[in-house]
A and B are shown apart, each in its own frame.
Chain A
Amino acid sequence: MKAEAVQPERIAVPAGTRSVAGLGRRTQTLLVDVVVWAGLLVGSIIFILPFFWMVSSSFKEFGGLFNFPPTFIPSTWQWTNYLEIWRRLPFHLFFRNSFFVSSLETAGVLFTSSLAGYAFARLRFRHRDTIFLIYLSTMMVPFAVRMIPLFVLMRTFQWVDQLQALIIPGMFSAWGTFLMRQFMLTIPRELEDAGLIDGASFFQIYYRIILPLTGPALATLGIFTFMDSWNAFLWPLIIISSMEKKTISLGMAAFRGMTAMRTPWHLVMAASVVSVLPIMVLFLVGQKYYVRGIVTTGLKG
């Protein structure tokens, strides 16, 4: 199997697997393209349907939700749903908290991971590889194992129901350190040697030479961290209880929860639309770095 895959000249083509006789290769490719394209179109309609349903419901009147048959185009467009949700719950606070938590956590991860990544990639010190191995091994442990002692720790720090409990423990990432180290290993050493000969300190080399070259990797790590932090639910659910400290995920869950009996789906959908927009915009803006992150972690991981 392996040998066949690597060395093309060894691929023996048995009878019956040759291209269909009588059809030119170009015609055949075109035919396959049409079939695949149609399949992808059907699939993407299914995939986009929930978004349509969310947006269309968000503009309906309460009564319009329960029409039969259901309609995709609301009979009357009730734009006020989007104002009403802010009256029901302080969504501006949820956004502010999420933004605050995610930005600080991201800044922290970039800071600690790039510093340690540089040391693990470049500097020689005792127990370096052992320490790095311990970093890697913690990546295997599910969060559920840590969450109980971590909660107890937060109680000792008196950080329960405080935003710093969402920010500070998240600022130290084994995965981020790993990503930084791997990227910095690919930077040619000659660039630093010149600096060392000129008598630059290790910090100057890190700050003036390595960090500017690490831009793309920092962007990737930053986007992943920000999005994960924005999307986090279990840990905030454990830590935060006051309404004014809730993040957007918690706020959405609270909105659904307080109306569970007779859910005003039109308002809940309006809130959903508002809550998914920021992260989607971030993704569209930072697409390049996001996809690059998937490529590097996916193939070398």
Chain B
Amino acid sequence: MAAKLSGLQRKEELAGYLFILPNLIGFLVFLVFPILAAVYLTFTEWELSAPPTFAGLANFRAMIGDDIFVKAFGNTFYYAFVAVPTGVFLAFVLALGVNRPMRGVFAFRLIYFLPHVTLTVAAAIVWAWIYHPEFGIINYLLSLIGIQGPNWLFNSKSAMPALIIMSNWKGIGYAMLIFLAGLQGVPAELYEAAVMDGANSWYRLVKITIPMLSPTTFFVLTTSFIGAFQGFDQFYIMTNGGPSFATTTLVLHIFNNGFRYFKMGYASSMAFVLFLCILCITLIQWTSAKTWVHGFTQD
């Protein structure tokens, strides 16, 4: 093959490699190598001081006996499976609202999106103050309607819901904008034809909007799940995993093991489990997509 390349083809081949070279070097060093090294570390015990020693599957056995890991695993699923469906549903409803040609919709879009462009750490700190049991604004507002607010971040039952509310406040606007883009891509003729047939708005929503928007819904769902499984920032800032590990996520537990107790091998194995979880959820979503995502098999 190589011998048959003409002068121009040879030039093009060389140019191709030169163009990707700066990117490829960094990609291999900072992405591919760490991923491969992580797979190796999964089977080792390593506390940084001495070289890693091979440990077989000991790390995976240790996980089963690690109560905090089991808890963090459950917490991560709890967080993802409550925050993502509620967030995606609300984002969809908001997108339907701000898609109507009304006065002021641009202002509404901006307001709902603004939390997404605030610094996560700052937003988490502000919400810690909002959730303050005695002097925070939420419990004051609740008291106005006769509800005694919980201790929010200091109670193991209410801490996770508090974080879910905060995360959805932060993230809904982004999903809303994606839905909005999807809505604006639905051909207007479909609605016009339906209106001529006399279909009411509920019928148009169920029979046109929702099916036509399913590729967008699929995209939002998969990316939101991948993001939710990696929750860290607001958990670290607002509760640091407490009280009594009620909000310790997998990434927080991995971080603590890796960078506080320097159990590099063990932390890597847990990260590997996290990856498998994300992979499974994504695969389940992909295989189920055929049944509900419009035009999925065509791509």
Contact = CB atoms under 8 A, between A and B. Distances in A.
A252 B125 CA distance: 8
Nearest to B194: A11
Interface string B248-267: 00110011001100001001
Interface string B215-227: 1100110010010
A248 B16 CA distance: 39
A48 B115 CA distance: 8
A79 interface: no
Contact of B17 (A125, A152, A268, A275): A125
B118 A280 contact: yes
B58 interface: no
B158 to A, nearest CB: 18
A238 B216 CA distance: 35
Contacts, number: 305
A268 B238 CA distance: 14
B129 interface: yes
A288 interface: no
Contacts of A131: 20, 24
Contacts of A295: 181
Given A11-B197, A172-B26, A149 B37 contact: yes
A275 B122 contact: yes
B77 to A, nearest CB: 15
B56 interface: no
A47 B38 contact: no
Q: Is the interface of A mostly helix, strand, loop or mixed?
A: helix
B140 A299 contact: no
A153 interface: yes
A17 B126 contact: no
A252 B121 contact: yes
B118 A279 contact: yes
B120 A294 contact: no
B250 to A, nearest CB: 7
Given A5-B211, A32-B201, A50-B126, A298 B216 contact: yes
A119 B125 contact: no
Contact of A119 (B19, B103, B121, B272): B19
A124 B185 contact: no
Interface in A1-41: 1-2, 4-5, 8-9, 11, 13, 17-20, 32-33, 36-37, 39-41
A246 to B, nearest CB: 11
A115 interface: yes
Contacts of B29: 153
Q: Which of B27, B108, B282 has the most CB of A within 10 A?
A: B27
A123 interface: yes
Interface residues of B, number: 111
B197 A47 contact: no
Nearest to A201: B15
A263 B125 CA distance: 11
A272 B200 contact: no
A156 B23 CA distance: 21
Contact of B38 (A68, A123, A149, A265): A149
A116 B19 contact: yes
Interface in B137-155: 137, 140
A33 B219 CA distance: 29
B114 A299 contact: no
Given A5-B207, A145-B38, A230-B119, A19 B200 contact: yes
A298 B233 contact: no
A106 to B, nearest CB: 15
Contact of B112 (A5, A47, A150, A237): A47
Contacts of B11: 202
A258 interface: no
A44 B105 CA distance: 11
A50 B137 CA distance: 9
Contacts of B27: 135, 138, 172, 174
A171 B31 CA distance: 11
Interface stretch (B60-68, B80-88, B93-101): B93-101
Nearest to B270: A144
Given A53-B129, A149-B37, A265-B132, 13 more contacts: A17-B200, A18-B199, A43-B112, A66-B135, A115-B23, A116-B19, A119-B15, A142-B251, A149-B41, A172-B27, A227-B117, A279-B117, A301-B219
19 contacts: A13-B194, A13-B199, A33-B100, A37-B104, A43-B108, A44-B112, A54-B126, A68-B135, A116-B24, A119-B17, A123-B15, A141-B275, A145-B271, A147-B255, A268-B125, A269-B129, A271-B122, A276-B119, A294-B181
